[in-house]
Chains A and B, each alone.
Chain A
Amino acid sequence: MHLQKLELLNFKNYPDLSLDFSPDINCLVGANGSGKTNLLDAVYYLSLTKSAFHTTDAHSIKHEEALMVIRGWFKREENVDTVQCSLQQGQRKLVMRNRKEYERLSEHVGRYPIVLIAPNDTDVIREGSETRRKFFDGILSQIDSPYLQNLLRYNHALKQRNSLLKTFSDQGRVQHDLLEPFTLQLLQYGLPLLERRRLFMQEYMPLFEHHYRNLTDGEEKVFIRYETNLDDTNPEKLMQDNLQRDVALQRTRIGVHRDDYAFEIDGFSLKKYGSQGQQKSFLIALKLAQFDLLREHKGFKPILLLDDIFDKLDDRRMARLMELVSGHAFGQLFVTDARPERSARLFKDLSESEVVYFYVEKGTAVPVDEQTLLRD
């Protein structure tokens, strides 16, 4: 599966743009701040109906404009699907596939799988458990659509229960019989999520370990420990025992919304004790394992977006990654690089892949040939 063509109208810094892509390697070059990452984000948007970088949709609309449109042509085998995301200031986001609007955006997620490796990935190591849950939920949502439905319902029930706890606190009175249905809903939707997350880790870990070893030649043992405070032997009792504290804190303390994935290296916390290099390898292995898993479940290769990662990698890791590229481990690839001559040198020996370069500048992007970049 690959993206043949992309059209943008008022998306971020692009007033009006139309680009045709290579099914193999697309390299976006240009100065910092020229909008290379925004192009990757447009591709990401088409796949997951949201920006990889902004939580507020309206921030994706070009400054002082009222409407933005992203349109893409995805080709798989002989079929071409058009996907269009549009957003008008103050209105509901609209996603259409082959000119037909989705009833629910969640139906779109996973059809055109994508993996993004970007500099802000380090958040997944440094930030709180929410970023890690989001990362793994993002993968699960792309391979298991009932999981996503369950997750959305769980979050809704959680919001209702917390809202109720707050009401109880305001009124100074707890109505246990009213809290019970929400508690049961949390278990009804939460227990399958717990089960699915456990199962997922069994499938994901070997892929992850393989990529980590491959990137580092290292002896160190990496591990991802799935942690939950929901005990599935007697969850009703657990919820019951924590009721008083829930009321006092006005939020639900037990449940899969508090799950975490501990990243470990030789039994120690990666965040506290891992070196910069180990952390980088860990992150890339996380993403490459995500890529493999999506490919296995979908039966075709996801699109891979590499945002500005050449700056972050040392020669050995770089070489390992290029081995994967030249060995056709990936399908369509989008790469950004502020130093055009570096990318041109890296890709020039890949005779079997079609490499296309785009020079990005001030809201435009034009194809350039490799020789021009090497001369500069």
Chain B
Amino acid sequence: MQYPSQHIEKAVEEISKLPGIGRKTALRLALHLLRREETETSALAQALIDLRTKTRNCSNCHNLADSEICSICANPRRDASVICVVENPQDVMAIENTAQYHGLYHVLGGVISPIEGVGPSDLRIDSLVNRVAGGNSAGGGPKEIILAISPTMEGDTTAFYLTRKLKPFGIRISSIARGVPVGGELEYTDEITLGRSILSRTLYNTSGEDKE
């Protein structure tokens, strides 16, 4: 395609490097920016620069953060006796949105998959072990680890590996429940999920309380 301006061409080239965006969409976005107020584009450019230069990984849990320690780890009202282990920062956001969890997190940065060349040393497993050992917190280590890892084969492998690593510390290790989605219908649930839900069924609580 011929572009009337080198600058447009350059912008299209950069925007189309983003996932899911082709050259046509990139051109539409570029022309859209040209039609809007100049301040809007500056704000976008500044936001992108800040995104790169000012965000970092929390040195404690490896979640995305604006400072050395992320807002969750720094919050004194969070329960430091529980750590929820997840694959990536999106998972933290997903669990935060449930408003059901008040402990801390640990972001692994992926799952173990030898085919893709990802081993334990490529993930933040050592630092999790250190946290559990109490190496990073003055008030002693956590009492419970919740594994919230995707129930894929690689996820299962990772969970198993972590459990072995953490077992010597004698703390409680749990895994999020797997089963039928709320509002889902049994007949549309695949056999493996349904089979697992039957095996790990829970006691029916008539008092209406969902805590043990």
Q: What residues make up the interface of A, taking CB atoms closer than 8 Å to B?
A: 145-146, 149, 153, 156-157, 159-161, 163-164, 167, 175, 177-178, 180-182, 184-185
Contact, CB under 8 Å: A160 / B115: yes
Contact, CB under 8 Å: B160 / A163: no
A–B pairs, 26, beta carbons within 8 Å: A145-B191, A146-B191, A149-B191, A153-B153, A156-B153, A157-B153, A160-B113, A160-B114, A160-B115, A161-B114, A163-B114, A167-B114, A167-B117, A167-B119, A175-B119, A177-B161, A177-B164, A177-B165, A178-B161, A180-B160, A181-B156, A181-B157, A182-B114, A184-B160, A185-B153, A185-B156
Q: Does B83 contact A (CB under 8 A)?
A: no
Contact, CB under 8 Å: A163 / B156: no
A161 cross-chain contacts in B, Cβ below 8 A: 114
Contact, CB under 8 Å: B164 / A160: no
Instruction: Identify whether the interface residues of A are mostly helix, strand, loop, or mixed.
Output: helix
Q: Does B12 contact A (CB under 8 A)?
A: no
Instruction: Give the shortest distance, in Å, between A310 (CB) and chain B (any CB).
Output: 43
Q: What residues make up the interface of B, taking CB atoms closer than 8 Å to A?
A: 112-115, 117, 119-120, 153-154, 156-157, 160-161, 164-165, 191-192
Contact, CB under 8 Å: B119 / A159: no
A145 cross-chain contacts in B, Cβ below 8 A: 191
A164 to B115, CA, bound (A): 8
A156 cross-chain contacts in B, Cβ below 8 A: 153
Contacts A160-B115, A177-B165 given; does A182 touch B157 at CB 8 Å = yes
Instruction: Give the shortest distance, in Å, between B132 (CB) and chain A (any CB).
Output: 16
A167 to B113, CA, bound (A): 12
Q: Please name the residue on chain B nearest to A156 by beta carbon.
A: B153
| Further contacts, 4 of them, CB under 8 A, given A177-B164, A180-B160 | A160-B115, A178-B112, A180-B161, A184-B160
Contact, CB under 8 Å: B157 / A185: yes
A153 cross-chain contacts in B, Cβ below 8 A: 153
B119 cross-chain contacts in A, Cβ below 8 A: 167, 175, 178
Contact, CB under 8 Å: A181 / B161: yes
Q: Please name the residue on chain B nearest to A159 by beta carbon.
A: B115
Contacts A160-B114, A163-B115, A167-B119 given; does A180 touch B153 at CB 8 Å = no
A149 to B113, CA, bound (A): 20
B192 cross-chain contacts in A, Cβ below 8 A: 146, 149
A164 to B161, CA, bound (A): 14
A185 to B119, CA, bound (A): 17
A185 to B157, CA, bound (A): 8
A142 to B113, CA, bound (A): 30
Q: Please name the residue on chain B nearest to A153 by beta carbon.
A: B153
Instruction: Give the shortest distance, in Å, between A254 (CB) and chain B (any CB).
Output: 18
B161 cross-chain contacts in A, Cβ below 8 A: 177-178, 180-181
Q: Please name the residue on chain B nearest to A150 by beta carbon.
A: B192
A175 cross-chain contacts in B, Cβ below 8 A: 119-120
Instruction: Give the shortest distance, in Å, between A203 (CB) and chain B (any CB).
Output: 22
Among A146, A149, A164, A180, the residue within 8 A (CB) of B114 is A164
Instruction: Give the shortest distance, in Å, between A168 (CB) and chain B (any CB).
Output: 9
Instruction: Give the shortest distance, in Å, between B39 (CB) and chain A (any CB).
Output: 43
Q: Please name the residue on chain A nearest to B195 by beta carbon.
A: A146
Q: Please name the residue on chain B nearest to A177 by beta carbon.
A: B164
Contact, CB under 8 Å: B115 / A180: no
A157 cross-chain contacts in B, Cβ below 8 A: 153
A181 cross-chain contacts in B, Cβ below 8 A: 112, 156-157, 160-161
Contact, CB under 8 Å: A180 / B156: no
A266 to B186, CA, bound (A): 52
A-B interface, 8 closest residue pairs, ranked by CB to CB distance from nearest: A181-B160, A164-B114, A163-B114, A181-B157, A163-B115, A160-B114, A181-B161, A160-B115
Instruction: Give the shortest distance, in Å, between A275 (CB) and chain B (any CB).
Output: 46
Which of A159, A161, A177, A178 has the most B CB atoms < 10 Å from its CB? Answer: A178
Q: Please name the residue on chain B nearest to A164 by beta carbon.
A: B114
A3 to B119, CA, bound (A): 50
Among A149, A164, A180, A185, the residue within 8 A (CB) of B164 is A180
A177 to B163, CA, bound (A): 11
Q: Please name the residue on chain A nearest to B157 by beta carbon.
A: A181
Among B115, B120, B154, B191, the residue within 8 A (CB) of A178 is B120
A178 to B156, CA, bound (A): 13
A182 to B115, CA, bound (A): 12
